[in-house]
Amino acid sequence: MKLFERAGPLTQELRLAPGGFGLGQVLERERPDATTTMTCGYCSTGCGLSVHLRNGAAVGLTPATEYPVNLGMACPKGWEALEVLKAPDRAAVPLLRNDRGQLEPINWPTALRVFVARFRAIQAEYGNDAVAFLSTGQIMTEEMALLGALAKFGMGMIHGDGNTRQCMATSVVAYKQSFGFDAPPYTYADLEESDVLVFVGSNLCVAHPILWQRVLRNPHRPEIIVVDPRKTETAMQATDHFAIRPKSDLALFYGLARLLIERDWIDRDWVAAHTNSYKEFAAFVAPFTIERVASDTGIDADRIERLAQTIHEGRRVSFWWTMGVNQSYEGTRTAQSLVNLALLTGNIGRPGTGANSITGQCNAMGSRLFSNTTSLFGGRDFENADDRTEVARILEIDERRIPDQNSWAYPEIISGILKGKIKGLWVIATNPAHSWINQSQLGEILDRLEFLVVQDMYHTTETARRADLVLPAAAWGEKDGTFINSERRYGLAKKVARAPGVALADFSIFKLVAEAWGVGPMFRRWESPAATFQILKHLSRGRPCDITGIRDYQMLDDLGGVQWPFTAEQERATDGGATADPATHRRLFADGLFYHPDGRARFIFENPRPMPEPPTSAYPLLLLTGRGTAAQWHTQTRTNKSAVLRKLSPRNPYVELNPTDARRLGIAQNEPVLVESQRGSIAARAYVTPVVAAGQVFIPMHYETVNQLTDAVFDPYSRQPSYKACAVRVRRASACPP
Ligand SMILES: Nc1nc2c(c(=O)[nH]1)N[C@H]1C(S)=C(S)[C@@H](COP(=O)(O)OP(=O)(O)OC[C@H]3O[C@@H](n4cnc5c(=O)[nH]c(N)nc54)[C@H](O)[C@@H]3O)O[C@H]1N2
Ligand SMILES: Nc1nc2c(c(=O)[nH]1)N[C@H]1C(S)=C(S)[C@@H](COP(=O)(O)OP(=O)(O)OC[C@H]3O[C@@H](n4cnc5c(=O)[nH]c(N)nc54)[C@H](O)[C@@H]3O)O[C@H]1N2
Ligand code: SF4
Ligand SMILES: [Mo]
């Protein structure tokens, strides 16, 4: 079979990827045996990894000692990052489902012809909005931007969302409403500069191990407070652990606000100068008496008082949260209840302070600014005519190509498929057939699609196995571009290895699709990732995320990444960044000015709501889900390809069960059990441990079956799935009829 057919402009694009030279290889050509530093492609910490090259190819890596994020450290995933590129199930050629229902290799020109013909036919029959895309926080910023522009301005789609909905949507909405822009305010140095750190629903030791190392470098003997129903690895190392009842966070933080206000432990001047709606907030929290909060959270009243006192006595208090907050039916208000505490006590804008959402995926922050999904490029609004005009001018496109309505969020796209409104779906770098909530429904829903395209680095993912067309993608290490980490730092990833077969960088695939769709000329300026980065700079100008001061990739390389904002004026003032300390100097809100038109932050609050599916007599246990080990990444398509990482984590699904519950149920350590919810039943081994409280169980999200159990419930503002609370029962497998 001829994989590369001569096909006019396509061949030029094809040269872009497998054989072409990337940044790492260019460097190597100039300096044989070079080492080049690049950002890790797993988590949002964004560690720098030094990749060692021989003859234009990576031969190994070590954590970068000079990079301001990780200071010479990396977790096992980072160390093993090159290994997982070599797996035999890499998607190396396009695959098309044939008449017998099997995926069969085809060449790129055929793949592109089928892609265009099928999606165009669906659009002709049902309308442009009958085709949608689901993308990701795990490809380069330049790739996300090109996809967002191509799908919406080129192909006429209206609906497109990403796996960041599963993850960060709550923080996005919380920040937008409270601060006026989606802007995590901190730098990692704050982890070392706080004297009180409060971690809420965040298992840093497992999920962000290098950030935990930064905490350990804190010289101020800090109080480390962990609020998590489980006694996690992080809780075990904390100075104090509040094992609250799941989803009682709102009550706790409103109760703390009440105590701080009542004792006049707040920064009245700062609140008066920089916030709105304080009076209403103070009145709102009045009923959250300590007795009520103690009864809602299961935490003793005197411990709650002591916590308020610790926050009061801290000179530099920082509040950090992750999925225990975001993945909840009331996640947005919970995140804002932490923002409110930082505002009340004036703990924002100074070193060691902040209301700090820790991101998840390597480039979730890139997708928040530039994926063109639910917000228009640069955190703009599709429904705002001025925003559309500005973007059209910068991109030199006809303004009418920009949709004047917002995209459906991920759950609406899924229900759109169910209702027959969405008939074609393009899935890029995400694995919803494992990770989306309530899989007992999702399988049937995906079956309703007339055409499913999956673009992935492996052809064996749960979602790729269902696809009609698989497009083989190059991975981290096989392409160039930027990621934005949790502290808003742009970091560079580089091509240091060849992609297998005819797999192409996502960027090149999008360029080919543009040509095949007939909108190639619209993307002439988007010639390469580096050229696209210049377009992103224009899109950022004058926005809170302004990066007009970052000259080019070389500057990112020289400085060890650069945090946004970095304006042209800042660039001049710091002599091209040379006199700035890249590790610390871009903390937000030092001037107390927020992004709302009046410059003030807002207190936002709402009464807690009942848990949608509380335990009952039939399903008496509450299921929590989340990360299992530092060696497992999400749906494990990557991490299960490394022998080292496989050794560091349990192969098969297990359920953490408290010893009291195990005794009551007659379940022994490591015994096979069934875990059942109203939606499904899965097999697991019992891991009897006091880490999980009585009445609760925990299953890591890394096992394919876990979302058979979860309940499709969402936060009303962010539309983020509530992955961390549904009712289940656990039984001995041997006691169940076959
Ligand atoms: N090793 C590894 N690291 C990762 C990832 C990975 O898959 N593997 N994924 C990355 C991504 S995308 C993300 S989003 C982050 C996630 O990072 P984390 O959010 O830290 O990880 P989770 O385990 O999902 O959830 C954190 C904690 O929330 C707790 N929790 C559950 N319900 C509640 C509640 O009601 N209140 C409170 N206060 N806590 C609750 C759980 O017990 C759990 O310990 O990790 C990133 N890092
Ligand atoms: N029950 C439960 N479910 C959860 C969670 C939970 O806590 N509990 N957490 C949720 C969260 S926070 C998240 S972020 C999601 C993650 O859910 P997913 O995004 O579905 O998980 P990943 O395994 O990261 O999937 C990424 C896919 O992209 C592919 N890939 C990697 N690099 C590239 C690339 O460069 N190009 C292309 N084209 N493909 C690539 C990988 O092979 C993989 O198939 O899961 C969510 N699901
Ligand atoms: S902590 Fe995150 S960014 Fe750092 S090496 Fe591990 S996975 Fe990569
Ligand atoms: Mo995530």
How confident is the model over 112-139, as pLDDT tens digits?
999 999 999 999 999 999 999 999 999 9
Model confidence at 626: pLDDT above 80: yes
Q: Which residues pair with 132 in a beta bridge?
A: 425
- Cβ(347) to ligand 2 under 6 A? no
Model confidence at 33: pLDDT above 80: no
In angstroms, what is the span from residue 599 Cα to ligand 2's centroid? Answer: 37
In angstroms, what is the span from residue 434 Cα to ligand 2's centroid? Answer: 9
In angstroms, what is the span from residue 633 Cα to ligand 4's centroid? Answer: 10
pLDDT given at position 738: 52
Between 695 and 29, the more confident residue is: 695
Tell whether 460 is covered by a domain: no
Model confidence at 388: pLDDT above 90: yes
pLDDT given at position 231: 98
Q: Which residue, of 357, 384, 413, is where some domain finishes?
A: 357
What is the pLDDT averaged over residues 219-229? 98
CATH number of the domain enclosing 702: 2.40.40.20
Is residue 340 classed as helix, strand or coil in its secondary structure?
Answer: helix
Nearest CA to ligand 1 atom 6: 633
Tell whether 57 is covered by a domain: no
Between 313 and 441, the more confident residue is: 313
What is the pLDDT averaged over residues 52-63? 92
Tell whether 563 is covered by a domain: no
pLDDT given at position 30: 62
At 60, the amino acid letter reads G
1, 104 contact by CB (below 8 A): no
In angstroms, what is the span from residue 548 Cα to ligand 1's centroid? Answer: 34
Nearest CA to ligand 3 atom 6: 75
**What pLDDT digit, counting tens, does each position of 68-90 carry?**
999 999 999 999 999 999 999 99
Tell whether 676 is covered by a domain: yes
Q: State which of 38, 142, 431 you would mutate to test the pocket of ligand 2, scoring each by most atoms of that ligand within 8 A of its C-beta.
A: 431
With b meaning 16 or more CB within 10 Å and e meaning fewer, what string describes 178-203? bbbbbbbbbbbbbbbbbbbbbbbbbb
250, 325 contact by CB (below 8 A): no
Determine the longest span between alpha carbons in the chain, in angstroms. 77
pLDDT given at position 25: 63
Q: State which of 213, 225, 322 you would mutate to test the pocket of ligand 1, scoring each by most atoms of that ligand within 8 A of its C-beta.
A: 322
- Residue 734 CA to residue 34 CA, distance in Å, equals 58
Model confidence at 13: pLDDT above 80: no
Q: Which residue is associated with the tokens 């804002």?
A: 336
Tell whether 696 is covered by a domain: yes
Cβ burial, residue 359 (10 Å; 0-12/13-18/19+): buried
What is the DSSP secondary structure assignment for residue 468, as one 8-state letter? S
- Cβ(275) to ligand 2 under 6 A? no
- Crossing angle, helix 301-313 and helix 290-297, to 10 degrees? 110
From the CA of 699, give the closest atom in ligand 2.
1
Structural tokens at position 396: 């030199």
- Cβ(360) to ligand 2 under 6 A? yes
**What pLDDT digit, counting tens, does each position of 526-537 carry?**
999 999 999 999
Range of the domain at 648: 621-735
Structural tokens at position 333: 């208000």
Q: Which residue, of 357, 377, 410, is where some domain finishes?
A: 357
What is the pLDDT averaged over residues 35-59? 95
Q: Which residue, of 335, 357, 379, is where some domain finishes?
A: 357
In angstroms, what is the span from residue 463 Cα to ligand 2's centroid? Answer: 11
Nearest CA to ligand 2 atom 45: 435
Structural tokens at position 656: 């953490």
28, 53 contact by CB (below 8 A): yes
Under the banding of pLDDT at 50, 70 and 90, the label for residue 32 is low
- Comparing 26-30, 201-205, 692-696, the range with the smallest average pLDDT is 26-30
With b meaning 16 or more CB within 10 Å and e meaning fewer, what string describes 427-465? bbbbbbbbbbbbbbbbeebbeebbbbbbbbbbbebbbbe
Q: Which of 219, 202, 80, 163 is nearest to 648 (CA)?
A: 80
**What pLDDT digit, counting tens, does each position of 134-181 carry?**
999 999 999 999 999 999 999 999 999 999 999 999 999 999 999 999
**What pLDDT digit, counting tens, does each position of 283-323 carry?**
999 999 999 999 999 999 999 999 999 999 999 999 999 99
CATH number of the domain enclosing 240: 3.40.228.10
Under the banding of pLDDT at 50, 70 and 90, the label for residue 29 is low
At 124, the amino acid letter reads A
The closest ligand to the CA of 41 turns out to be 3
What is the pLDDT averaged over residues 182-205? 97
Model confidence at 669: pLDDT above 50: yes
Under the banding of pLDDT at 50, 70 and 90, the label for residue 7 is very low
Model confidence at 17: pLDDT above 50: no
- Crossing angle, helix 410-418 and helix 439-447, to 10 degrees? 60
- Cβ(37) to ligand 3 under 6 A? no
Tell whether 234 is covered by a domain: yes
Nearest CA to ligand 3 atom 2: 43
pLDDT given at position 134: 98
pLDDT given at position 26: 60
- Cβ(74) to ligand 3 under 6 A? yes
Tell whether 168 is covered by a domain: no
From the CA of 79, give the closest atom in ligand 3.
5
Q: How many domains does the chain have?
A: 2
- Residue 11 CA to residue 20 CA, distance in Å, equals 12
Model confidence at 633: pLDDT above 70: yes
From the CA of 431, give the closest atom in ligand 2.
20
What is the pLDDT averaged over residues 189-210? 98
Q: Which of 508, 593, 551, 601 is nearest to 174 (CA)?
A: 601
- 370 torsion bin: left (phi>0), alpha (psi -120 to 50), beta (else): alpha
State the average pLDDT for the chain: 94
Q: What percent of the chain has pLDDT over 90?
A: 92
Q: How many CA atoms lie within 13 A of 33 on its CB side?
A: 0
What is the pLDDT averaged over residues 520-526? 97
pTM of the predicted model as reported, rounded to 2 decimal places = 0.96
What lies within 8 Å, CB to CB, of 397 at 6+ separation is 153, 522
pLDDT given at position 582: 55
Q: State which of 166, 203, 357, 701 you would mutate to test the pocket of ligand 1, scoring each by most atoms of that ligand within 8 A of its C-beta.
A: 203
Under the banding of pLDDT at 50, 70 and 90, the label for residue 31 is low
pLDDT given at position 12: 43
pLDDT given at position 712: 95
Nearest CA to ligand 2 atom 20: 431
What is the pLDDT averaged over residues 546-555? 96
Model confidence at 10: pLDDT above 70: no
Which residues surround the ion ligand 4 when the cut-off is CB under 5 Å? 167, 360
- Cβ(429) to ligand 2 under 6 A? yes
Under the banding of pLDDT at 50, 70 and 90, the label for residue 576 is confident
- Cβ(205) to ligand 3 under 6 A? no
Q: Is the dihedral of CA 362, 368, 372, 374 positive or negative?
A: positive
Nearest CA to ligand 1 atom 8: 633
- Residue 403 CA to residue 407 CA, distance in Å, equals 9
Tell whether 510 is covered by a domain: no
Model confidence at 9: pLDDT above 50: no
- Residue 463 CA to residue 436 CA, distance in Å, equals 11
- Residue 316 CA to residue 436 CA, distance in Å, equals 38
pLDDT given at position 16: 43
What is the pLDDT averaged over residues 264-288? 98
